[in-house]
Amino acid sequence: MVSDHYDTLEINRNATDAEIKKAFRRLALKFHPGRNKQTGSTERFSQLGEAYDVLSDPRKKATYDKFGKEGLKGGIPPEFGCTGAWSSKYVYHGNPEKTFREFFGGDNPFADFFTNDARLQFGGLKPGDVKTQDPPMERDLHLTLDDLFNGCTKKVKISRRVINEDGCTSSIRDKILTIAVKPGWKEGTRIIFPKEGDQGPNSIPADIVFIVRQESHPLFVRQGSDLIYKVQITLKMALTGFSVDVQTLDGRLITIPINDIVHPSYNKVVTGAGMPLSQDLSQRGNLIVTFDIVFPKKLSAESKHLIKHALPS
């Protein structure tokens, strides 16, 4: 049986007020009868209450340090010349639960812990309970087409509730998560950070999941691993041929000759000039050039005559 108040709180005699409070917080939560059903926990909890009641009060602590328990409980002997409060007898009120609640300032000492915005029930896990993991926390990760073509590194700051070093209280802290974006990732790709959600005594932290959301691009439309590039041309170009210059996402300028007659459903496929394949970066999709043919609004009689003679019937 532990008899010394310092031993009860597992601290040395030079402990500061902050260290006394920290020790009581940790041990009182550990041995509270509502959480700890082991034999002896009720007695230990009572000892903790009395030890904290004495050592947290400067005058009681000074008396205890000099005269011990007997001097504290029996009053300081008259030969020491003490009067008033210093010589009065100390009697612990015997209600460790009262000390406990006064220390935490409320009816629920576990109110610092939250999971899914729900306050935990007083007493924590009960015997036989099994910790369950909270549902995944999903967040959108907005990336440009250039990000997804070339790959990049994104750093995302999250705020989450974590258990403090005392193992009893919690606080909100920020953390930076680093995401290595792989070339070729598609819309909807999920990046999982296991157990990076809020911490709590009764649950396993949720996974944090980032879901890729591709932003629109001014020149290209993505279809799977292919890139669609639309060009506006005149009817004359569609009939007589031309070339198209395309600035690719990796910075190259490629010239594509069009020698075919371009009809409304025609497109030009450039093999291997599309998006990289994330599962095999040596492979790429295609660049598909489509055309928007702009017809003239009107033709002169002479132009109509020339077209009639130039085109086969």
pLDDT of residue 113: 40
Domain final position from 187, 214, 241: 214
pLDDT of residue 109: 52
Same domain as 97, residue 9 = yes
Same domain as 262, residue 236 = yes
118 closest CA partner among 135, 104, 130:
135
Do residues 275 and 185 make contact, with C-beta atoms less than 8 angstroms apart?
no
Which residue range(s) make up the domain with 200? 132-214
pLDDT of residue 186: 95
Same domain as 242, residue 301 = yes
Alpha carbons 122 and 112: distance in angstroms, whole number: 11
Alpha carbons 178 and 162: distance in angstroms, whole number: 19
In a domain, 125, yes or no: no
Do residues 215 and 188 make contact, with C-beta atoms less than 8 angstroms apart?
no
Do residues 228 and 290 make contact, with C-beta atoms less than 8 angstroms apart?
yes
pLDDT of residue 1: 43
In a domain, 127, yes or no: no
In a domain, 51, yes or no: yes
Give the confidence band of 77 by pLDDT, cuts at 50, 70, 90.
Answer: low
**Exposure b/e, 290-311, CB count within 10 A at least 16 = b:** ebebeeeeeeeeeeeeeeeeee
124, pLDDT greater than 70: no
- CATH code assigned at 293: 2.60.260.20
Do residues 233 and 262 make contact, with C-beta atoms less than 8 angstroms apart?
yes
In a domain, 259, yes or no: yes
- CATH code assigned at 33: 1.10.287.110
Report which DSSP code applies to 202. T
Give whichever of 96-100, 132-136, 297-301 has the largest mean pLDDT.
297-301
Q: Which two tokens stand for residue 191?
A: 């990046």
Same domain as 70, residue 103 = yes
The runs of H, that is alpha helices, within the chain are 5-8, 17-31, 41-55, 58-74, 96-104, 145-150, 235-240, 301-310
Give the confidence band of 201 by pLDDT, cuts at 50, 70, 90.
Answer: confident
Residue type, 133: Q
Q: Which two tokens stand for residue 217?
A: 């691009």
The average pLDDT across 3-17 equals 89
More confident residue, 199 or 223: 223
More confident residue, 273 or 32: 273
Phi-psi region of 105 (alpha: psi -120 to 50; beta: other; left: phi over 0): left
46, pLDDT greater than 60: yes
pLDDT of residue 40: 79
Do residues 47 and 41 make contact, with C-beta atoms less than 8 angstroms apart?
no
Do residues 220 and 229 make contact, with C-beta atoms less than 8 angstroms apart?
yes
In a domain, 119, yes or no: no
Say how many domains are in the chain. 3
49, pLDDT greater than 50: yes
In a domain, 9, yes or no: yes
Alpha carbons 50 and 52: distance in angstroms, whole number: 5
The average pLDDT across 264-288 equals 95
